[in-house]
Amino acid sequence: MNVSEVMDKSPLYVRESDFITKARQVLRDNRLRALPVIDDTDKISGVLTRDGVLRVTSNKSNVTVKGFTENIRLVNPEDKIEEAGEVLTESGVDLVPVAKSKSNRTLEGAVSIQRVLDSISENPLNPDIKVRDIMSEKVETVPHNEKVSKCWLKMLDTGLSGFPVTKNGRLIGIITKGDVIQAGHARFSQGKNNSGGSRDKTKITRLMSTPVTKATPETPVAEAVSLMKKNKIGRLPVIEDEEIIGIVDRFDVLKPYLG
């Protein structure tokens, strides 16, 4: 299957000269994780991710997209979908712009990791490949009484896009960058009041998603993909004996399909 068969042929995008506030609004209103960025010659210059948006504080809202654009290897419409998958897993970015050709960086479309996963997961996968074989065993969690502002800074510090939320050692929810952006709290989390503390006192329990869709170490990877697709989520905590022992995301489950 070629990229042209699964790509979004009319993707939303931003220009390098656009204010980051506009890009943040586009991401938030459309629940996107990344956007293609084009320059003043209408050629692809890279992508803007939610990470880029989250680095912008309320007192830096007049900056433009250009300073937060990430370089990424592009794909073309005739490339195999597996190549797009490789670019996505190598870069850790949720979307790859599609250029008209290798010599022409005009934006023809975009393909997200979800579209790649939806397409490639139709291929048969060895049922012996289980979640335990691909999961990350080091799991960063946040306590239920954590403030959104502190959680957001942890997202920036670790580069992770979401955390399991725990109470008394038990999993009770998931908090993601998307939750923070959608609720409009991202721009305030580095703001300070006169006493030096954060202005935003909101707790993560107000924003987290519940109930939590989970996997076990013995869950087949193909089943984990189905759970993600069915519930429209990007990660699964891995639970054994009621304890969190790992986590898998879209990038983890895509890799076995790429060989």
Output the six-digit token pair for 5: 């068969």
More confident site: 50 or 196: 50
197 within some domain: yes
Is 180 in the same domain as 68? no
Provide the domain limits for residue 54: 3-120
Q: Which residues are 170's β-sheet partners?
A: 167
d(C-alpha 159, C-alpha 105), whole Å: 29
Mean pLDDT estimate for the chain = 90
Closest CA to 187 of 55, 79, 57: 57
CA separation, residue 39 to residues 17, 27, 55, 108, 157 (Å): 8, 19, 21, 14, 29
Is 224 in the same domain as 173? yes
pLDDT in tens, 117-171: 999 998 889 999 999 999 999 999 999 999 998 998 898 888 888 999 999 989 9
125 within some domain: no
- Does the pLDDT value for residue 187 go beyond 60? no
Is 148 in the same domain as 48? no
What domain count does the chain have? 2
Is 157 in the same domain as 95? no
Is 167 in the same domain as 97? no
Q: Report the pLDDT value the prediction gives residue 53, as an integer from 0 to 100.
A: 78
Closest CA to 252 of 155, 161, 135: 135
126 within some domain: no
Is 43 in the same domain as 154? no
Closest CA to 174 of 219, 226, 139: 139
Contact residues for 73 (Cβ-Cβ < 8 A; gap 6+): 87, 90, 91, 96
pLDDT in tens, 53-77: 777 765 566 889 999 999 999 999 9
| Burial class of 189 by CB neighbour count within 10 A (0 to 12, 13 to 18, 19+) | buried
- Does the pLDDT value for residue 190 go beyond 60? no
Query: pTM score, two decimals?
Result: 0.85
* Strand bridging mode 162-167 / 142-143: parallel
